[in-house]
């Protein structure tokens, strides 16, 4: 497939759209030479857009800055619009540039995925795959997944991005990530599909002297509570459980940072409620206490999210198998599956659903 022609057609379509019909001023105008866009131009453009500097893009690529500058200028000439505002602070995308950056990322990912598919036909898995994950999931299986992929599919290069569920949904939609792993979150956009991989329980996190065991949810609600904000899916699970027992959730602090929530709970500011995977390491070294919440138990699904119209490639499917294997190892491992009554760990992550 001639990807130069594909890119050319896409950029010409963008040029015809209203959002890209922003003429240059008379001092900036230049005549289009109608050359066909190439992938190298798009790669240079997206790197400058994401780093905010031609110098940083040059250092990253190992290419002279003037060559990148000429490439950007040629792209602006072809599209007859400014893609960047240039000032002493660097390169800032214009509104038009932001739109092109969104599309260019999708084009480059599609090219990479196609290359992977063709290479995989020869039964040799190779290529990059971008995986987004919440902090809790990253802490739970991030390292194990990297180790497993390197050992079993060394030509596959996983790139992991950490973010909260709202960002993950947007990244999956726009093609920033190929796969997203989010706990407590179900996509609201019909373009996104999900697969349930596992389930863990939310636990009460406090300072070490509080001790272990179980605690009733109603007792936890008496506070003081430090929780994620109302827009966070984990908070949605907590609020939903409280509503079912006709109680209200009142917090001392709303904090959308798992790391800070753990730090505050360890320091005695209050009780945090989080997935066990997010706090396991701190619990194992004695920084915090963890208690299983009962009456009711609050389950939290771990979901795999991807676009319906762009199902996982062969490389993606191979990585998903290794994600599931990493989760299964966690389930079977003693450090995550002990006696819940004494260490707060048993059944924090349920068995994976049967295929």
**Cβ distance 274 to 203 under 8 Å?**
yes
| Residues of the domain holding 155 | 124-198+301-337
Same domain, 62 and 28: yes
Same domain, 307 and 283: no
Q: Which of 21, 7, 34 is nearest to 110 (CA)?
A: 7
Same domain, 267 and 305: no
**Can you give the pLDDT at residue 37?**
66
Q: pLDDT of 119-156, one tens digit each?
A: 655 556 777 888 999 888 888 889 989 999 999 888 88
Same domain, 236 and 263: yes
Residue 285 pLDDT exceeds 60: yes
- Domain total in the chain: 3
Same domain, 269 and 208: yes
Q: Which H or E element spans position 302?
A: strand 299-307
Strands 179-183, 127-133: pairing is parallel
- Residue 354 belongs to some domain of the structure: no
- Residue 116 belongs to some domain of the structure: no
Task: Give the C-alpha separation, 44 to 41, whole Å.
Answer: 5
Share of the chain above pLDDT 90, in %: 25
Q: Which residue has the higher pLDDT, 282 or 345?
A: 282
**Cβ distance 169 to 305 under 8 Å?**
yes
Mean pLDDT within 56-62 = 81
Same domain, 308 and 333: yes
pTM, two decimal places? 0.61
Q: Which residue has the higher pLDDT, 42 or 346?
A: 42
Backbone angles phi, psi at 200, to 5 degrees: -130, 165
Residue 176 pLDDT exceeds 50: yes
DSSP codes of every residue in 79-137? HTS--EEEETTEEEE-HHHHHHHHHHHHHHHHHHHHHHHHHHTTT---EEEEEEE-HHH
Q: pLDDT of 7-42, one tens digit each?
A: 555 555 544 543 443 334 433 434 444 555 678 888
DSSP codes of every residue in 38-66? -HHHHHHHHHHHHHS-HHHHHHHHT--HH
Same domain, 187 and 305: yes
Mean pLDDT of the chain: 79
Task: Give the C-alpha separation, 54 to 52, whole Å.
Answer: 7
**Cβ distance 182 to 133 under 8 Å?**
yes
Residue 208 pLDDT exceeds 80: yes
Residue 168 pLDDT exceeds 70: yes
SS3 167: helix
The rounded radius of gyration (Å) of the Cα atoms in the chain is 24
Share of the chain above pLDDT 70, in %: 80
Strands 226-227, 156-162: pairing is unpaired
- Residue 345 belongs to some domain of the structure: no
Same domain, 97 and 166: no
**Can you give the pLDDT at residue 9?**
54
Residue 204 is part of a domain; what is its CATH number?
Answer: 3.40.190.290
Helices (H) and strands (E) in the chain, counts: 13, 12
**Can you give the pLDDT at residue 78?**
85
Residue 22 is part of a domain; what is its CATH number?
Answer: 1.10.10.10
Task: Give the C-alpha separation, 65 to 23, whole Å.
Answer: 26
Structure tokens given for 223: 């506070």
Q: Which of 251, 280, 300 is the last residue of a domain?
A: 300
Same domain, 17 and 38: yes
Same domain, 187 and 229: no
Task: Give the C-alpha separation, 203 to 339, whole Å.
Answer: 14
Q: Which of 76, 108, 140 is the last residue of a domain?
A: 108
Q: pLDDT of 215-253, one tens digit each?
A: 999 999 998 999 999 888 899 999 999 999 999 999 999
Task: Give the C-alpha separation, 204 to 275, whole Å.
Answer: 9
- Residue 114 belongs to some domain of the structure: no
**Can you give the pLDDT at residue 124?**
66
- Residue 117 belongs to some domain of the structure: no
Assess whether the previous peptide bond of 224 is cis (omega < 30° from 0): yes
Residue 319 pLDDT exceeds 80: yes
Task: Give the C-alpha separation, 31 to 24, whole Å.
Answer: 11
**Cβ distance 212 to 291 under 8 Å?**
yes
Q: pLDDT of 86-112, one tens digit each?
A: 877 778 899 888 888 888 877 777 777
**Cβ distance 179 to 316 under 8 Å?**
yes
Same domain, 249 and 194: no
Same domain, 229 and 193: no
Q: Which H or E element spans position 216?
A: strand 213-216
**Can you give the pLDDT at residue 351?**
33
Q: Which residue has the higher pLDDT, 6 or 74?
A: 74
Residue 128 is part of a domain; what is its CATH number?
Answer: 3.40.190.10
């Amino acid at each position: 497939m001639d990807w130069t022609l594909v890119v050319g057609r896409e950029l010409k379509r963008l040029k015809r759209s209203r959002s890209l019909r922003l003429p240059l001023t008379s001092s900036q105008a230049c005549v289009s030479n109608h050359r066909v866009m190439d992938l190298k131009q798009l790669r240079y453009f997206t790197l400058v857009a994401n780093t905010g500097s031609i110098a940083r893009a040059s250092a990253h690529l190992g290419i002279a800055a003037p060559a990148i500058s000429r490439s950007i200028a040629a792209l602006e000439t072809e599209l007859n619009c400014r893609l960047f505002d240039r000032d002493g602070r660097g390169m800032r995308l214009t509104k038009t540039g932001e739109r092109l950056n969104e599309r260019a990322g999708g084009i480059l990912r599609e090219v990479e995925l196609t290359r992977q598919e063709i290479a995989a036909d020869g039964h040799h898995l190779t290529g990059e795959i971008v995986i987004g994950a919440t902090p809790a999931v990253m802490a739970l299986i991030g390292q194990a997944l990297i180790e497993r992929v390197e050992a079993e599919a060394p030509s596959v290069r996983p790139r992991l991005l950490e973010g909260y569920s709202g960002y993950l949904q947007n990244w999956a939609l726009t093609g920033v990530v190929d796969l997203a792993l989010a706990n407590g979150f179900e996509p609201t956009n019909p373009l996104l599909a999900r697969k349930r991989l596992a389930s863990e329980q939310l636990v009460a996190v406090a300072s070490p002297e509080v001790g272990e065991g179980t605690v009733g949810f109603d007792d936890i609600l008496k506070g003081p509570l430090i929780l994620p904000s109302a827009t966070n899916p984990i908070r949605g699970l907590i609020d939903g459980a409280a509503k079912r027992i006709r109680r209200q959730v009142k917090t001392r602090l709303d904090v959308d940072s798992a790391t800070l929530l753990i730090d505050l709970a360890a320091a005695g500011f209050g009780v945090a409620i989080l997935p066990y995977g997010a706090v396991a390491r701190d619990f194992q070294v004695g920084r915090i206490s963890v208690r299983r919440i009962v009456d009711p138990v609050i389950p939290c699904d771990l979901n795999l999210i991807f676009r319906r119209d762009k199902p996982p490639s062969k490389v993606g499917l191979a990585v998903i198998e290794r994600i599931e294997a990493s989760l299964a190892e966690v389930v079977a491992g003693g450090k995550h599956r002990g006696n819940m009554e004494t260490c707060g760990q048993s059944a924090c992550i349920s068995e994976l659903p049967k295929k």
